[in-house]
Structure 1
Amino acid sequence: MRKPVIAAVGIAAVLALAGCSSSSAPAATEITAGPATGSLDFQSWTPTQDTFDAISASFVSENPDVKVTGTLSPFEDYQTALQTQLRSGGGPDVFVVQPGAMLNQYQQYIEPINSYAEAFSGSEWRDAYNTDPLARATIGDQTYGLPIGYGVAGFLWVNKTILEEQGLDVPTNYDELVSVSKALQAKGIAPIAFGAKDTWQDVDYYLAIAASLNKDALYAALDGSGSWTEPDLVKAFGLWQQLFADGVVQEGAAGASTYTDTYDLFTQGKAAFFANGSWNLDMYKNSLDLVGSDDIDVIPLPVPGGDDTAPITGDVTGIVVVNKNSENKAAAFQLARFMSEGAGAQVLTDAALDFPVTKDGPAPSELPAAADQARASIQGLIADDLAGYRQVPSASVNTALGDALVGLISSGLSPDDAASRVQEAADNA
């Protein structure tokens, strides 16, 4: 539930017209590194309110002269409120953005944190972080926030208990997936529970398929140096379409949401597979009574047309940033740092069972034993089969890509037309 990719809602132009503070970030020598004081307002869609309240309480226990107010809202509601506040020159002291499009759109409202990090952690502060997560918070030579949580997507969750009960093996290629799906449907069991109404979900699996065909072409298109009409990317649109035509997803997938339509199908044992990312490990927190006794693992996505499976893509859960217009920037940075590499990171990890962004980052302190196998398998995919980042850098391209993927499965859009529409958005971005 924490992982939708930002939709383009016309905010880029609106925010650009709004203006922002012209003050430059202070030098590290101008920042006093001491306990946080004053008041801080935090807003985000992630984590949950209860989890943030626990983080806030821990932060205040270390900084007793600071008062923290946290507001956690559904993603779309959060975005709407944040836009309104930032356009008026206000907004929370600390907020969270996604890497890629959302960071780029809000960049003008965010205080670079390089000097603050140096003041509080020393000139080698970057060494504490894994390279990829910190890079997702960096534009040019400036770091615009600190990452929290690392998650990956583009693979399948599989309930081996259901397959075993039906006398079926875990598929290792696409033909086997088609065969298993037909056998499951004959027994009234959904194959892949896929929330294709969610374009963020559609994009995740298209990226995986495209990366399996031509990773270089995919990331060239994503960064604007290549074209979405490259033949392998056009082919990937067709293979995406084939998943739905071949019936390896549940009936009505195009109108289903991940939360909670397909999440419920999988956790209630009504589907043998589930299309969702590593953050679904939190089902061992939220639905342990439903899934704890089943043998559940993850497998790479079989790609139509051969024996290949798709690589995965990964990204940080979010980037905790400081509002350029905050009147308490040093304390705001300290809260961001606390959530990224301090005790707050442990609270986040325990709640979401995410993967660390720092080299010595925390592991879940109370990981249910039932989650061990799936988490280990995900770690294996990260080590051996990670294609690259997950979030589309351009909001308009992300929207066009999501719309094209929906069109391919619901309105007869052709792969060539899908590619052309996404490229048109890229040309106008």
Structure 2
Amino acid sequence: MLTIRTRVAAVATVGVVAVALAGCVGTSDAPSADGDVTLTWWGWNNFQYEQVIDEFEAANPGITVEYKNYAFDDYVTALRPALTGSDGPDVFQMQPGALVTNFGPLAVDPSEHMESVHGADWQDRFYPAGLEALQADGEQVALPNYMSAAGLVYYNADILEELDLDVPSDLDQWEADCTTIIEAGYACLAHGAKDGWVNEDVFLSLANSVSPGLVYEAIEGETSWTHPDLVAAMTAWGSLFTNGIVAEGATAMAEYPDAFSAFLEGNAAFIALGTWNTSQTMTAAGIAEAQKGVSTPIDNVFLSAPFPAAESGGTPTSPFGGPDNGWAVAANTPSEEAALTFLDFLTTGYGQENQASGGNIPAVRDVAVSTEDVVDPRQVEDIERQQASIEDLVGLRQIPYPDLDAALVDALSQVAAGAATPKAALESVESVSAGLDRE
């Protein structure tokens, strides 16, 4: 089952010179006289890792893997000194954005190893976005673990059927539907506006509906954040809190567990999330796990659709995303060959079958998400559509510049609270963007 994604808000830049690596030794045991190796593996989001280790060790006699799991914030804190000292992992988890920027230089580029094992076209096995998001300074610093995409709204099919409503295609239709939904005693869109990452997901959904891809030009400083289309998207964002779409009290709620619990318990018709949400809403095993966190029985059918268009009659958003996370080999490992073998196992071998079995979208194209455990036949087509969308993502979810990310989060909060106009909020974002050093 998918572990909830955590957004990186900011990570301090790691300053390391190349000579520092020469004196560093990883925590894995160097190969012993009989050739045995012990690898240390670190992460924060790792599905069925014990089973993965068992399968790998059975297929690779002489290599033992020891896993250490962290809460995300603790992981980032521990990783910074570990990769430049003597207590670091051999294989570690990576996330697009700030982690790649800051820790990518401390990882091995696996390209040569992958080519030797899989041939010169090894990259063709992966979704392009999965590789691109895990590159730094022209180097492939990690390989993707599984893929995810936002730009979706999940909905309670039973509520919509009860009220004879279709999934809305734009905000005007959604506002009208919400009136009916609220009159029937339900909340419309459960949303945890206390969390900056989900606010950004919704804003990116709106921006990519108004002008697909424009927001990424702004992120890279190629377009102003005050572009009329981005102002239109920010205006649409603010309207969600005044037209009845977002449930009351959203600014004091977290997406997890508050908004998600309201959705699972059948109190709200919609929630804005992404493909990482599918296993917990569409598979029997995932729902059984989610049930542990809520008191009301989860007995509705959940489906997904593109996030409605910001403008009346517009096109619903294109999906955006990339690798939810990936795996990297530490540059200071004394067991590079064994670590690369394990990396390959995680990202092209059994590790991908494991992700598919849990309802996650594999990083490689030739492994399909399992649909054997869905709770309703309609969810099979839904899941297949989600996986197909990974081939043509409009852009990433992550903003790779921590200061810019923080500025956008603040702007969205200000607009949601009615404390700033959309244009004024984006002017503050543009001010930060203009001062960034993107080299």
Band of TM-score, shorter chain = 0.7 to 0.9
Q: Please state how far the C-alpha of 1:79 moved relative to its aligned partner.
A: 1.5
Matching of residues 223-238 of structure 1 within 5 Å: 223-238=220-235
Report the 3-state secondary structure (helix = DSSP H, G, I; strand = E; otherwise coil) of the residue aligned with 1:297: strand
Whole-Å separation in 2 of the counterparts to 1:173 and 1:231: 19
Whole-Å separation in 1 of the counterparts to 2:174 and 2:75: 39
2:38 — aligned with what? 39
TM-score by length of 1: 0.88
Distance 1:210 1:265, change over 3 A: same
Q: Please state how far the C-alpha of 1:202 moved relative to its aligned partner.
A: 1.2
Distance 1:42 1:380, change over 3 A: closer
Q: Which amino acid is the alignment partner of residue 253 of structure 1? A: A
1:5 — aligned with what? 7
Distance 1:396 1:331, change over 3 A: farther
Whole-Å separation in 2 of the counterparts to 1:110 and 1:187: 54
Judging by fraction of residues, say which structure has more helix: 1
Paired residues, number: 413
1:81 aligns with 2:94: no
Whole-Å separation in 1 of the counterparts to 2:7 and 2:228: 25
Whole-Å separation in 1 of the counterparts to 2:360 and 2:54: 21
Whole-Å separation in 2 of the counterparts to 1:189 and 1:304: 23
Q: Which amino acid is the alignment partner of residue 41 of structure 1? A: T
Alpha-carbon displacement from aligned partner over 1:276-316 (angstroms, at most 9, x marks no partner): 11111121233257887533221222234412222221211
Matching of residues 12-411 of structure 1 within 5 Å: 12=13, 15-16=14-15, 21-22=20-21, 37-48=36-47, 51-86=48-83, 88=85, 90-283=87-280, 284=283, 285-288=285-288, 294-308=300-314, 309-351=316-358, 353-364=359-370, 366-370=372-376, 371-379=379-387, 381-382=389-390, 386-410=393-417
Distance 1:139 1:292, change over 3 A: same
Percent sequence identity is 28
Whole-Å separation in 1 of the counterparts to 2:86 and 2:410: 32
Q: Please state how far the C-alpha of 1:88 moved relative to its aligned partner.
A: 4.0
Distance 1:268 1:212, change over 3 A: same
Whole-Å separation in 2 of the counterparts to 1:203 and 1:20: 39
Distance 1:251 1:61, change over 3 A: same
Report if aligned partners of 1:346, 1:364 keep a CA contact under 8 Å in 2. Answer: no
Report if aligned partners of 1:195, 1:253 keep a CA contact under 8 Å in 2. Answer: yes
1:29 — aligned with what? none
2:423 — aligned with what? 416
Report if aligned partners of 1:112, 1:145 keep a CA contact under 8 Å in 2. Answer: yes
Distance 1:282 1:365, change over 3 A: closer
Q: Which amino acid is the alignment partner of residue 8 of structure 1? A: A
**RMSD (Å) for aligned C-alpha atoms:** 2.7
Whole-Å separation in 2 of the counterparts to 1:372 and 1:293: 18
2:436 — aligned with what? 428
Q: Which amino acid is the alignment partner of residue 69 of structure 2? A: L
Report if aligned partners of 1:315, 1:389 keep a CA contact under 8 Å in 2. Answer: yes
Report if aligned partners of 1:315, 1:391 keep a CA contact under 8 Å in 2. Answer: no
Q: Which amino acid is the alignment partner of residue 185 of structure 1? A: I
Q: Which moved more, 1:216-225 or 1:62-71?
A: 216-225
Report if aligned partners of 1:339, 1:348 keep a CA contact under 8 Å in 2. Answer: no
Distance 1:78 1:408, change over 3 A: same
Report the 3-state secondary structure (helix = DSSP H, G, I; strand = E; otherwise coil) of the residue aligned with 2:15: helix
